Structure 1
Amino acid sequence: NCHTPDSTTDSSSHARHDVGTIDSDSGQRRWSALTGFDTPAVLGAWSKPPFLHDGAAQSLQAAINAHTSLPALPAPEVDALAAFIQQAEAQDTADMGDLDADGIPDFQDPAPGNACAPSTFNANCAQDSDSDGTSDFEETESADSDGDGTPDYLESSVEDSDGDTFPDQQDPGNDNPCEPEVHFCSQNIPVMRWPHALLLGLALFAVTFANKRRLQVR
């Protein structure tokens, strides 16, 4: 039985089957004759047309009829089988549940008891990768407020690595205090060396003294 009741596939046994769909255009497997195909699960298959290895079947009925290695079924039975597959999907998915409430049915979830696996981006996962008090889910997977290529969930909204008053999440240059505003950058403030300062002081003194002399002469 290819579609076993528990998982609706015998893929784990590595068995391969030829249900009558192999033809001259099917190619080879590992440079050898193609003897069969891995069995896909029935659950969910109805929602992903086209069907079969080459996409030749546009409907479940066509996929069922393509199993020419099996006795042909009358059209009403083919329709009934297709309807059963659709109904079984809805019922079985509901019965299997979602233990960790991450939006992934347990039968498809590699970690059914961990809401943060396989993805942290669901409302029931509280993971906060940048430790800023906002979960990855709230910051979303794609948001990048400062456009620096690092998503918000990996940049803190409270930490300011370069001390320029802009939190990392709003700062495209987390290690550059001159970015995004140069007036927070000390290297942009002119530094006057003491000889220049002395000369400037003397010049100001001379101007002030000259002005006083002019006033006295008047």
Structure 2
Amino acid sequence: MANFNTHLNGAFAVSGIMALTVYKAGLINDSGFLMCMALGTIGGLLPDLDSDNSTPIKLGFNITSFVFAFGLVMHWRNELSLLSLIALWLAGYGFMRYVVFNIFTSMTVHRGIIHSVPYMAVLGLATVSLSYYVLGNALTASWFFGLFLFGGAMVHLALDELYSVNLMGMKMKRSAGTAMKFYQHKDKWWYLLLYGLIALLVYFAPPVTEFWQQVYDPAPWAQLKVGILPDLLEDYLR
């Protein structure tokens, strides 16, 4: 399987190119461009959340713990004293970082259901709804956010499958087929739950028709043809 740096760099490179493409087409604004890059890169690390000692899970829970503690403080900032807010911040951080983290790692197995396509699809669709319904972002941007998160995760899974092939001897390693999974019989009930969640999230997702209309509209993509080289060729042909 690929290591942390490979997943990070691979997801960042692919997300950067794709985000720059849709940004140049005018489908997302400046903040949307940065968010797509960030979500795509994060997505490239998500499948390894089921590895107890991996860098993504430690980094992810550290960030989540900070955000959770910060949210508690912001919510109670007018009701509590300074000392109480400090205590609340420490308690919130400690709860997420140690209690929730230990529960999560004890319940997950590396390359289990988290390291699968349907699990990442659930996270991608949940991101779309969270962005649109809760955060109030634009419809097109929200769908791109979810797609970039899912796309980054697919880069991760694809890299793991690629690294499961011994190119020198053209042989498949034992890890082949364990990365990009759609179903495993031993976890059939979990996969049934995942596909049920996907159906539910698709049903309640923001309207996708308008998003696809914008994506299929040739006008935004025509802007990608404008550049120095095409202009020089046009002048030359004249």
**Common topology (TM > 0.5):** no
Sort the TM-score into its range (normalised by shorter chain): under 0.3
Larger proportion of helix: 2
Identify the structure with bigger relative contact order (alpha carbons < 8 Å, sequence gap 6+). 2
Structure of higher CA gyration radius: 1
TM-score, L = length of structure 2: 0.23
